[in-house]
Amino acid sequence: MDPSRRAEARALVPAPLLYGQFQPVVGQWVEYELATRQGAFRVRVALVGETVREDGTPLYQVELDHETTPRMLVVVWLAGATRPFVERLAVSVAPHAPISIPVDLEADSPELRGELMGEKDITVRGPFAGKARERTFRRERGKPVVVVDASRVPLVGVVSVVTEDGSWMARASGTGARPSLDTVPIAIPRLPGQ
């Protein structure tokens, strides 16, 4: 991937998926507080569906429900569990019809994460209190990215991600998540040769 396109590609993979370790359990959810320059709001990340393809590969539907005004729902379709591959991403902002685009990126792409500069064991407080692992990544430019991992956080194992663009902080988790996307997205096709 051309280095000039990495920031654009990074924007297509939500930070908890990019820096986490996917732990698929249908119905589980984790709620993050996302703080950006525009303000802070909650984002509920939920695994709401799984189908198995003819070749045996599972396809997962992960929804990121942004509690903004207007409400924004981002749906990511991941192929595979061990090294999940983001096939498509749909965005729905009421009252407009959802639009789906091809992504074709590894959810945990080392190229997009950046270079691992260091890691250490730490203790975190709050709803996911206990031992955790802090990792620091360096991207091609900008401030380092600091990620705190703990396997007890459902779906992605990420307690927090702090980037120069904002921060994701896990606040709650649970089960019983159901799909929120209730309209078939308008699918933007792949370009010829892709």
Q: What is the CATH number of the domain that holds 10?
A: 2.50.20
Give a yes or no: residue 50 inside a domain. Answer: yes
The pLDDT of residue 58 = 97
Give a yes or no: residue 192 inside a domain. Answer: no
pLDDT averaged per 10 residues, the chain (length 194): 77 93 97 94 97 96 94 95 93 92 91 95 96 95 92 96 95 96 87 60
The pLDDT of residue 114 = 92
Give a yes or no: residue 133 inside a domain. Answer: yes
Buried/exposed 51-64: b ≥16 CB within 10 Å, e otherwise = eeeeeeeebbbbbb
10 neighbors 18 (Cβ within 8 angstroms): yes
Give a yes or no: residue 101 inside a domain. Answer: yes
Give a yes or no: residue 19 inside a domain. Answer: yes
Give a yes or no: residue 186 inside a domain. Answer: no
Give a yes or no: residue 35 inside a domain. Answer: yes
Domain that holds residue 80: 3-181
The pLDDT of residue 180 = 92
Tokens of 183: 């309209």
Give a yes or no: residue 193 inside a domain. Answer: no
Q: Count the domains in the chain.
A: 1
162: left (phi over 0), alpha (psi -120 to 50) or beta: beta
The pLDDT of residue 133 = 98
Q: How many Cα atoms are found within 13 Å in the side-chain-facing hemisphere of 89?
A: 18
